[in-house]
Amino acid sequence: MDPRKSENEGNLDPDQSGLIYQMALDIGGSLAKLVYFTYDEDCAIEGKDGMSPEKAVAKSKGSKSCAVLRGKLNFKIFETSKINDCLEFIKSVKLRLGGCQRQENPGSQAIAVKATGGGAYKYTDLFKERLGINLDKEDEMDCLVAGANFLLKAVHQEAYTYMGGQKQFMDVDHNDLYPYLLVSIGSGVSMIKVEGDGKFERVSGTSIGGGTFWGLGKLLTKCKNFDELLELSYQGNNRVIDMLVGDIYGGTDYSKIGLSSTTIASSFGKVISNDKEIEDYKAEDIARSLLRMISNNIGQISYLNALRFGLKRIFFGGFFIRSHPFTMDTISVAVNFWSKGEAKALFLQHEGFLGAMGAFMSSDQHELKKLLENKAVHQQASSIKACAIAGDLHGDESIECCVYSV
Amino acid sequence: MEGQKEFVQIDPNDLFPYLLVNIGSGVSMLKVDGDGKFERVSGTNVGGGTYWGLGRLLTKCKSFDELLELTQKGDNRAIDMLVGDIYGGMDYSKIGLSASTIASSFGKAISEKKELEDYRPEDISLSLLRMISYNIGQISYLNALRFGLKRIFFGGFFIRGHAYTMDTISFAVQFWSKGTAQAMFLRHEGFLGAFGAFMSYEKHGLDDLMVHQLVERFPMGAPYTGGKIHGPPLGDLNEKISWMEKFLQKGTEITAPVPMIPPGTTGLGGFEVPLSKGSTLRPDASALNVGVLHLVPTLEVFPLLADPKMYEPNTIDLSDHNELEYWFTILSEHLPDLVDKAVASEGGTDDAKRRGDAFARAFSAHLARLMEEPAAYGKLGLANLLEMREECLREFQFVDAYRSIKQRENEASLAVLPDLLMELDSMDEETRLLALIEGVLAANIFDWGSRACVDLYHQGTIIEIYRMSRNKMQRPWRVDNFDDFKERMLGTGDRKPTPHRRALLFVDNSGADVVLGMLPLARELLRRGTEVVLVANSLPALNDVTAIELPDIVAEAAKHCDILRRAAEAGDLLVDAMISPSNSSKESSTSVPLMVVENGCGSPCIDLRQVSSELAAAAKDADLIILEGMGRALHTNLNARFNCDALKLAMVKNQRLAEKLVKGKIYDCICKYEPAN
């Protein structure tokens, strides 16, 4: 059950990685997320150019308690507007992927890759023409939920709360996971009531999401990318731009209605009264105001929806969060504030890859899954257990994982 | 009690509880359980200040209104990432999102290599507006849901009677509630101030706030949706009820829960124009009955009313069925002409025609409903009927149907004004006063609200009609207290009376009426040392002059008249010193001031229980009121009593009204003077 020791350098460069075994894509409005599985070298000892899973399983049959399949789940993101980078990357790993497939299917048919998100539809032709890859489309919500369910169950301490700058990791009891509200913050925001595996409903959402932060931020600050904008927000002071309760009530708390003087009364509200141009404001301050506005709003709407359906847990996912402390803090504070402390915001380590993970898991021709099913027949029980590598997990990352039998 | 029956409200319980959403810089949400019983339950920091603040940074607009105005020509698809953008033009139908649903506000700005300057301010403004309005609508709905509230009232400056913000918020509520919650709107700017007062609720209960300031409006779509008209729900506010219609529920049912366009609104601001199924009206009589409750907190009771409790604005009681039928016929007959004017005023575009049709249909439907059940909306007076027509026009975004006509007539009248003033100045005092009153009555013939007068227009130029009309003024008029008025003004023999301190002149129509009739009279009063306040409509109604238009007219007239110029300068009407650039000192402004205030209404009539606080303030020093025109002096207020001298001047341009009110005939004149007692 123990996870493999971590290899921090990850598997970013396909040349250094093991075999690419399976890949799935989630192409959203802003970002394309890629999840792929590579074997560990020691599992693929018999041939660099590809050992079939069956062989790997066969190899491991001798040792009963040993994992049957070891490898890494790798996570990678690209900007959707630079979809070519993504294509190039896949192209570079395609040989191995193809090689693997070709062994199985000498007919050299087009390769099918699971994909979800709007881009799976939009870029179908592009993938076909450029890479000969058939994007096998999976429903976005299905994937999101499947990905979240998988990660919450399979990954040790996938969920955590974030209050006052502290991450508090927690394991969720599998039997007490449902129902929960899954808030996926991508370009836009979807709010999904999840009641079980494959049992869910999109109950709400908002168009004010990561795309809004980035889009407005780009227009207002001339920042070139999302991370830069986030970085800026660290150094900003939203008081310059936001109208606070204290600004209205002369610095005294308006405690009668439960507002402190630092509560934001109106995001960007101070801009009205100042006779300043956009150039007169610091980009840092703008980024900060924007981030607080959007995070707070998402926290509030999420809480209201959780309340509405009596859901005690709210999990936040999606690329917008990126383990960004300030974002998480604002969302946590919002949920805490609006629920008067009754609800807590929970975050996921792999928040950005829920959809891609779900797509990865969705394949019914999934060799990995086949294996698992086989094992299940033989061994009664099996599962994938994966463990996250500690540390910052945005952008490119990987999880050591192994398929093992109990 | 003690043999007296107290008037009992039938169903005040229908109102509470409700959610009151005040959209100022930020947004406050109050749960109101009863008179003075309320609690702040929620709010959001994304409000009007955010719209204006972000909008200012992004567009360089100089005013909130300018920013909002931009949305009309905007197309949010340029900036918002739509579901279709992500799905390559396809719907995400599984979860009911159409391709045009906004997936991410401003999301498209991410992927495009564009700078801020490359985006149209119109598009930015619309994206912002929709982002914020939808968000407010959504959070409001969720809070209403949480507390089981069926009604949501929206108010605050962000609404400010703006159809666009109301449309988007209303749509969000409809969208999220799937039609089970009602969005209602409160009017408008002063509510923010009132809210401030409310904050110190030891002094001002919400109760007070509402009794004075709420004006119930009714949904225009009601006759179509088959829904019940909700009114008057505000307990004690029966007497304050006036009219408005909102959101004709026309066109297709919303099947996709997509913030596209509220059914019945009209392709505004880059909204998708809905593919309505011809002109079929919304077939499902849904529970949703979007009404509009306008909070007009600036409205006050006119302080010079002698007995506000007994005051009844309407002269004609429409509870008489024949009377009702007559006026309905008049209004119906006038409708095609009005629709033509309205459509032409918006450039005669297809969109305008469509709205014109919708307006005609909606208004006719209301008339038909009222014929059937005159008390359907509460007590019905002619003033209400006329106001309903104006509100209905505004609902369909006909901002000012008579705009170009008014301009043309103002110009034509201003061109002949100098000659008229010269003629007047050559007269002696007594002759001049008579000529002035004659002039007011004669000029009142220029009235697009009167069928008879519209026909006249085809027969001569303005000045010809004016002179003909004035020459026909044979005293005694049908009601003629001129001599009393003259005595008050000029005295008898050697006894010179003290001039009035301040006169309020309630003006009527644009063009000759105000320029050749009321302005010369105002000038005479100014010359005699009386301050003059011109009181005009806040919003357009027929060809009535509005408070916004008046300063320009005065400025133009002042170019040819020193008396008017100095008075206008003293009254700060000529702020740009456009008349006398050489003279910036105040010393020449020894004149008494000429001022303009808005009356707080947008109807041809005036209900003096609801006037702007500006007017109420101006009235405090006044000792003379002059009400001019049929709407303000005959249809309403003919019998009103005041605490000061009052002069009511009008030409009766309707045969029936002449018979009914003064046992006279068409074109008879009324000059009713009632000194303060």
Q: Is B205 on the interface with A (CB under 8 A)?
A: no
| The pLDDT of residue B285 | 24
DSSP secondary structure letters along B40-99: EEEEES-SHHHHHHHHHHHH--SSHHHHHHHGGG--GGGTSEEHHHHTTT--BGGGTB-T
| The pLDDT of residue B97 | 64
Residue-wise pLDDT for B115-164, tens only, equals 888 899 999 999 999 899 889 988 988 898 888 887 777 776 676 556 66
Task: Pick A366 or B327 by higher pLDDT.
Answer: B327
Helices (H), B374-506: 382-395, 403-425, 429-443, 451-456, 462-471, 482-490
Is the model's pLDDT at B602 over the cut of 50? yes
Task: Pick A91 or B11 by higher pLDDT.
Answer: A91
Q: Which positions in chain B touch A212 (Cβ < 8 Å)?
A: 104-107, 131
Q: Which of B80, B109, B142 sits opposite A308 (nearest CB)?
A: B142
Q: Cα angle vertex A297, ends A293, A303, to 5°?
A: 150
The per-residue pLDDT of chain A, averaged, comes to 73
- Which residue of B lies nearest to A31 if distances are taken between CA atoms? B111
Distance of CA B360 to the CA centre of its chain: 19
Is the model's pLDDT at B542 over the cut of 50? yes
Q: Are B643 and B620 in contact (CB under 8 A)?
A: no
Residue-wise pLDDT for A106-122, tens only, equals 445 567 888 988 888 88
| The pLDDT of residue A68 | 55
Q: In the predicted model, what is the mean pLDDT of residues A274-303?
A: 89
Q: For tokens 């149209």, what's the residue?
A: B120
What residues contact residue B22 under an 8 Å CB cut-off, 6+ apart? B28, B29, B30, B155, B156, B191, B192, B195
Q: Which of A209, A281, A305 sits opposite B142 (nearest CB)?
A: A305
Q: What is the largest CA-CA distance in chain A?
A: 77
Residue B42, φ and ψ in degrees, nearest 5: -165, -170
Q: Which of A266, A280, A292 to substitute to test the interface with B, most B CBs within 10 Å?
A: A266
**Residue A213: how many CA atoms within 13 Å on its side-chain side?**
34
Residue-wise pLDDT for A231-248, tens only, equals 898 888 888 888 877 666
Q: Which positions in chain A touch B111 (Cβ < 8 Å)?
A: 29-30, 79-81
Q: Are A369 and A327 in contact (CB under 8 A)?
A: no
Nearest residue to A186 (alpha-carbon basis) of A399, A356, A334, A37:
A356
* Residue B482 banded pLDDT, cuts 50, 70, 90: very high
Give the long-range contacts of residues A202-206, CB within 8 A, separation 24 or more.
A202/A141, A202/B95, A203/A305, A203/A308, A203/A309, A204/A301, A204/A305, A204/B138, A204/B142, A204/B176, A206/A297, A206/A298, A206/A301, A206/B134, A206/B135, A206/B138
Task: Pick B674 or B249 by higher pLDDT.
Answer: B674
Q: Is B164 on the interface with A (CB under 8 A)?
A: no
Q: Are B288 and B180 in contact (CB under 8 A)?
A: yes
Q: Which positions in chain B touch A188 (Cβ < 8 Å)?
A: 81, 102-105, 107
Tell me what percent of the residues of chain A surpass a pLDDT of 90.
14
> Cα distance from B83 to chain A (closest Cα, Å)?
8
Residue-wise pLDDT for B523-537, tens only, equals 999 999 999 999 999
Is the model's pLDDT at B642 over the cut of 90? yes
Q: CB–CB of B105 and A207 under 8 A?
A: yes
Q: In the predicted model, what is the mean pLDDT of residues B340-360?
A: 83
- Which residue of A lies nearest to B177 if distances are taken between CA atoms? A204
Alpha carbon separation from B67 to B56, B165, B394 (Å, rounded): 8, 12, 20
Q: For tokens 């009914």, what's the residue?
A: B660
> Which domains are assigned to chain A?
14-142+353-405 (3.30.420.40), 210-241+281-348 (3.30.420.40)
Q: Are A118 and B84 in contact (CB under 8 A)?
A: no
* Residue B224 banded pLDDT, cuts 50, 70, 90: very low
Q: How many whole angstroms separate alpha carbon B149 and alpha carbon B48?
A: 24
Predicted TM-score (pTM) above 0.80: no
Nearest residue to B595 (alpha-carbon basis) of B618, B613, B611:
B618
> Cα distance from B106 to chain A (closest Cα, Å)?
5
Q: How many whole angstroms separate alpha carbon B618 and alpha carbon B211?
A: 23
Q: Which of A29, A188, A202 sits opposite B95 (nearest CB)?
A: A202
Please state the three-class secondary structure of chain A as a single string.
CCCCCCCCCCCCCCCCCCCEEEEEEEECCCEEEEEEEEECCCCCCCCCCCCCHHHHHHHHCCCCCCEEEEEEEEEEEEEHHHHHHHHHHHHHHHHHHHHHHHHHCCCCCCEEEEEECHHHHHCHHHHHHHHCEEEEECCHHHHHHHHHHHHHHHECCCEEEEECCEEEEECCCHHHCCCEEEEEECCCEEEEEEEECCEEEEEEEECCCHHHHHHHHHHHHCCCCHHHHHHHHHHCCHHHCCEEHHHHCCCCCEHHHCECCCCEEECCCHHHHCCCCHHHCCHHHHHHHHHHHHHHHHHHHHHHHHHHCCCCEEEEECCCCCCCHHHHHHHHHHHHHHCCCCCEEEEECCHHHHHHHHHHHHCCCCHHHHHHHHHHHHHCCEEEEEEECCCCCCCCEEEEEEEEEC
Q: Is B100 on the interface with A (CB under 8 A)?
A: no
How many CB atoms are located within 10 Å of the residue A161 CB?
17
Q: CB–CB of A206 and B46 under 8 A?
A: no
Handedness of CA B198, B202, B206, B210 (dihedral sign): negative
Which one-letter DSSP state was computed for residue B237? G
* Residue B353 banded pLDDT, cuts 50, 70, 90: confident
> Cα distance from A73 to chain B (closest Cα, Å)?
26
Look at residue B502 and give its three-state secondary structure: strand
Q: Which positions in chain B touch A139 (Cβ < 8 Å)?
A: 94
Q: Are B394 and B402 in contact (CB under 8 A)?
A: no
Nearest residue to B183 (alpha-carbon basis) of B23, B68, B35:
B23
| The pLDDT of residue A336 | 85
Q: Which positions in chain A touch B41 (Cβ < 8 Å)?
A: none
Q: Which of B86, B110, B135 sits opposite A122 (nearest CB)?
A: B86
Q: Is B53 on the interface with A (CB under 8 A)?
A: yes
Is the model's pLDDT at A380 over the cut of 50? no
Residue-wise pLDDT for A179-195, tens only, equals 999 999 888 899 999 99
Q: Which positions in chain A touch B45 (Cβ < 8 Å)?
A: 242, 263-267, 269, 293, 296-297
**Residue B30: how many CA atoms within 13 Å on its side-chain side?**
21
Nearest residue to A384 (alpha-carbon basis) of A392, A376, A394:
A376
Is the model's pLDDT at B281 over the cut of 60? no
Q: CB–CB of B135 and A188 under 8 A?
A: no
Q: How many whole angstroms separate alpha carbon B6 and alpha carbon B9?
A: 9
Q: Are A18 and A10 in contact (CB under 8 A)?
A: no
Task: Pick A206 or A53 by higher pLDDT.
Answer: A206
Tell me what percent of the residues of chain B surpass a pLDDT of 90.
22
Q: CB–CB of A206 and B138 under 8 A?
A: yes
> Cα distance from A188 to chain B (closest Cα, Å)?
4
Q: In the predicted model, what is the mean pLDDT of residues A289-315?
A: 91
> Cα distance from B119 to chain A (closest Cα, Å)?
9
H or E segment to which residue B177 belongs: helix B163-177
Q: Which of A207, A215, A266 sits opposite B45 (nearest CB)?
A: A266
Q: In the predicted model, what is the mean pLDDT of residues B272-285?
A: 25
Q: CB–CB of A29 and B115 under 8 A?
A: no
H or E segment to which residue B505 belongs: strand B502-506
Look at residue B158 and give its three-state secondary structure: coil
* Residue B92 banded pLDDT, cuts 50, 70, 90: low
- Which residue of A lies nearest to B145 if distances are taken between CA atoms? A308
Question: B643 exposed, middle or buried (CB, 10 Å; 0-12, 13-18, 19+)?
Answer: middle
Q: How many whole angstroms separate alpha carbon B661 and alpha carbon B655?
A: 10
Q: CB–CB of A308 and B44 under 8 A?
A: no
Question: Looking at A202-211, B345-354, B429-438, which range is the least confident one?
Answer: B345-354
Q: Is B139 on the interface with A (CB under 8 A)?
A: yes
ω into B17 cis (within 30 of 0): yes
Q: Which of A118, A208, A277 sits opposite B87 (nearest CB)?
A: A118
| The pLDDT of residue A393 | 35
| The pLDDT of residue A367 | 55
Look at residue B494 and give its three-state secondary structure: coil
How many residue contacts between A and B have a Cβ separation below 8 Å? 202
Q: How many whole angstroms separate alpha carbon A236 and alpha carbon A223?
A: 14
- Which residue of A lies nearest to B92 if distances are taken between CA atoms? A118
Q: How many whole angstroms separate alpha carbon B401 and alpha carbon B261?
A: 24
The per-residue pLDDT of chain B, averaged, comes to 73
Which of B207-216, B405-414, B579-588 has the highest mean predicted lDDT (pLDDT)?
A: B405-414
- Which residue of B lies nearest to A242 if distances are taken between CA atoms? B50
Task: Pick B158 or B488 by higher pLDDT.
Answer: B488
Six-digit token string for A312: 């005690």
- Which residue of A lies nearest to B146 if distances are taken between CA atoms? A308
Q: CB–CB of A141 and B95 under 8 A?
A: yes
Q: Which of B56, B81, B143 sits opposite A29 (nearest CB)?
A: B81
Is the model's pLDDT at B577 over the cut of 60? no
> Cα distance from B152 to chain A (closest Cα, Å)?
17
Residue-wise pLDDT for B288-329, tens only, equals 222 333 334 456 789 999 988 888 888 887 777 888 888 888
Task: Pick B221 or A318 by higher pLDDT.
Answer: A318
Q: Which positions in chain A touch B49 (Cβ < 8 Å)?
A: 243, 265-272
H or E segment to which residue B121 belongs: helix B121-146
Look at residue B32 and give its three-state secondary structure: strand
Q: How many whole angstroms separate alpha carbon A44 and alpha carbon A52?
A: 9
- Which residue of B lies nearest to A124 if distances are taken between CA atoms? B88
Gyration radius from chain A CA atoms: 23
Q: CB–CB of B104 and A212 under 8 A?
A: yes
* Residue A153 banded pLDDT, cuts 50, 70, 90: confident
